[in-house]
Amino acid sequence: MTTNTQSRTQWLGRWGFVLAATGSAVGLGNIWKFPYMTGEYGGGAFVLVYLACILAVGVPVMMTEIAFGRRGRGSPIDAVRRVVTESGRTSAWSLLGWMAMLCGFMILSFYVVVAGWSFSYLWKMLTGGLAGSGVDDMVAIFVANNENPWNLGFWSTLVTLATMFIVGRGVQAGIEKSVSWMMPGMVVMLLVLIVYGVFSGGFGEALRFLFVFDAGSLSSDGMLAALGHAFFTLSLASGAILTYGSYLPARASIARTTLSVALADTLVALMAGLAIFPVIFANGMDPGEGPGLIFMSLPLAFQAMPLGTLFGILFFVMLSMAALTSSISMVEATVSWLCDSKGFTRRAAAWGTGIVLWLISTLAMLSFNLGADWTLAGKHAFDWLDYLTSRWMMPLGGLGMALLAGFVVRSEIFREELGLSPAWYALWLFMVRYVSPLGILVVFIDALGIARV
Ligand code: PFF
Ligand code: NA
């Protein structure tokens, strides 16, 4: 066994890990990003590739990451190094841990801006700022909300503070407690919105848009986007799941927990699509509207339904909570690394990380106003952070993890950690050795235009 299993914190409850990992997975990626990407990339074909990526790449890689975390009992850097050393190999592989940590940090830098949108819409709902607005007003309100850097900066700063406050309090009191009541609430809210969608007149069109596969509508770029989103939505290759896995008690089943997290995440994304697209189609809005999609469409739905303001408030509370249970997981890797390896107290690690984060997230925030012209190759900071992480770092990190687990690490280690029957173990090995890496490579090579598949 590894050297330092005794001292590390573990989840308190039997459901601690599943709740926290689900809290990390289910977030803005499901409710904000999945719908607008599906809209941008043309619907059903994107959804199909995304689902295939979850199964063929996401699930095996998630199992691998949890196993790395639990075996190495440390931050991504330390855990990967320990497992590789235990296999008698060189520790250059811990670069993968570094990349994951950086990736989680970069994601959070733009994530707090989007979470800030959610908080500011909650405020608008509470204060009646959306009442009586039509389609065009909703677009104008979204734009106006972004135009003022003080306004936008206020909300993203608030999210940063809240994130660091929770993380600073620790794994059990901070993270575990906050996720145990908000996940069920989220699901109830989405069900209410779907019921509304069924009666809105746009439901049939939404179903067709999401689930009818039209091969012609999917570009190579769309496939790479779907792959990247599979990583993003499951919180993979960014340190979150690995670090949460490092607190997982030895007796828990990695396969079972992975399947529940992936299933919950997928269901919430599809539910979000079913809640949002009927409103889009019933109101003649453009599904390819981009990042503002849910903020422009859902408030319309709330307005038209009985008790809409109340539901609107509840929804944005839930969305904000979903964002927070994800944002805390993105810095947990960095914070646990600072505590374990650099001797920081947890509080100092959280606030130190928070300050650096705040500086970078301010750049992302300014992309929507003052810095709208500060672009590089047509993208501003917000887009770059999203693009680099989802399209490059996560797929490459996942590829590295799969190859490392499949070919480098001693096979007893994963056999022990995963605790699978021989047949299931063989399937997992086949996935991480061949299916996941080839899947990632094919999408990459296609997107780079080197070959056409
Ligand atoms: N999985 C989160 C979502 O779908 O919103 C985003 C995320 C969380 C990405 C944690 C990466 C991460 F480390
Ligand atoms: Na997600």
In this predicted model, which residue has the larger pLDDT, 129 or 389?
Answer: 389
Mark 134-143 as b/e (b = at least 16 C-beta within 10 Å).
eeeebbebbe
Give the tokens for residue 323.
């964002």
Identify whether the C-beta of residue 44 lies closer than 8 Å to the C-beta of residue 212.
Answer: yes
pLDDT at position 6: 43
292 CB under 6 A from ligand 1? no
Taking the C-alpha atoms of residue 97 and residue 195, their distance in angstroms, rounded to an integer, is 43
Taking the C-alpha atoms of residue 328 and residue 357, their distance in angstroms, rounded to an integer, is 12
Q: What is the pLDDT of residues 222-260, one digit of tens each?
A: 889 999 999 999 999 999 999 999 988 888 899 999 999
Is the pLDDT reported for residue 180 higher than 80? no
Mean pLDDT of 188-204: 88
Give the tokens for residue 136.
């065009």
176 pLDDT band, cuts 50/70/90, is: low
Ligand 1: which of 38, 111, 234, 294 to mutate, judged by most atoms within 8 Å of the beta carbon?
Answer: 111
5 pLDDT band, cuts 50/70/90, is: very low
Angle, helices 346-366 vs 94-126, to 10°: value is 70
232 CB under 6 A from ligand 1? yes
Question: From ligand 1's centre to the CA of 25, what distance in Å?
Answer: 5
Ligand 1 atom showing the smallest separation from residue 25 Cα? 1
DSSP string, 275-327: HHHHHHHHTT--TT--TTHHHHHHHHHHHHSTTHHHHHHHHHHHHHHHHHHHH
Burial of residue 88 (CB within 10 Å: 0-12, 13-18, 19+) is exposed
Ligand 1 atom 7: the closest Cα is on which residue? 235
Taking the C-alpha atoms of residue 170 and residue 165, their distance in angstroms, rounded to an integer, is 9
Is the pLDDT reported for residue 177 higher than 50? yes
Question: From ligand 2's centre to the CA of 4, what distance in Å?
Answer: 31
Phi, psi of 249 (to 5 degrees): -60, 150
* Residue found by looking up tokens 């770092």 in the block: 393
Taking the C-alpha atoms of residue 147 and residue 108, their distance in angstroms, rounded to an integer, is 21
SS3 238: coil
25 CB under 6 A from ligand 1? yes
Q: How many residues does the chain have?
A: 453
Taking the C-alpha atoms of residue 281 and residue 202, their distance in angstroms, rounded to an integer, is 5
pLDDT at position 91: 76
Residues with CB under 5 Å of ion ligand 2 are 25, 29-30, 233, 265
pLDDT at position 405: 97
Q: What is the DSSP letter of 23?
A: H
Phi, psi of 379 (to 5 degrees): -115, 140
Ligand 1 atom showing the smallest separation from residue 30 Cα? 4
ipTM of the complex: 0.99
Q: Which domains does the chain have, with CATH numbers?
A: 16-448 (1.20.1740.10)
240 CB under 6 A from ligand 1? yes
330 CB under 6 A from ligand 1? yes
pLDDT at position 1: 35
Q: What is the DSSP letter of 201?
A: S
Q: What is the DSSP letter of 375?
A: -
Taking the C-alpha atoms of residue 248 and residue 244, their distance in angstroms, rounded to an integer, is 7
Taking the C-alpha atoms of residue 413 and residue 353, their distance in angstroms, rounded to an integer, is 33
Q: Which of 322, 308, 327, 358 is nearest to 128 (CA)?
A: 308
pLDDT at position 13: 64
Question: From ligand 2's centre to the CA of 88, what distance in Å?
Answer: 35
Alpha carbon 41 to chain centroid distance? Answer: 19
107 CB under 6 A from ligand 1? yes
Q: What is the pLDDT of residues 65-100, one digit of tens each?
A: 999 999 999 999 999 999 999 999 887 898 999 999
24 CB under 6 A from ligand 1? yes
Identify whether the C-beta of residue 118 lies closer than 8 Å to the C-beta of residue 415.
Answer: no
Instruction: Name the pTM for this structure.
Output: 0.93
Ligand 1 atom showing the smallest separation from residue 330 Cα? 13
Could you tell me which residues are beta bridge partners of residue 237? Answer: none
* Residue found by looking up tokens 């646990």 in the block: 336
Taking the C-alpha atoms of residue 353 and residue 377, their distance in angstroms, rounded to an integer, is 29
Q: What is the DSSP letter of 376?
A: B
Task: Tell me how far CA of residue 236 lies from CA of 12, 311, 447, in angstroms.
Answer: 23, 32, 21
Question: From ligand 2's centre to the CA of 26, what distance in Å?
Answer: 4
Burial of residue 305 (CB within 10 Å: 0-12, 13-18, 19+) is middle
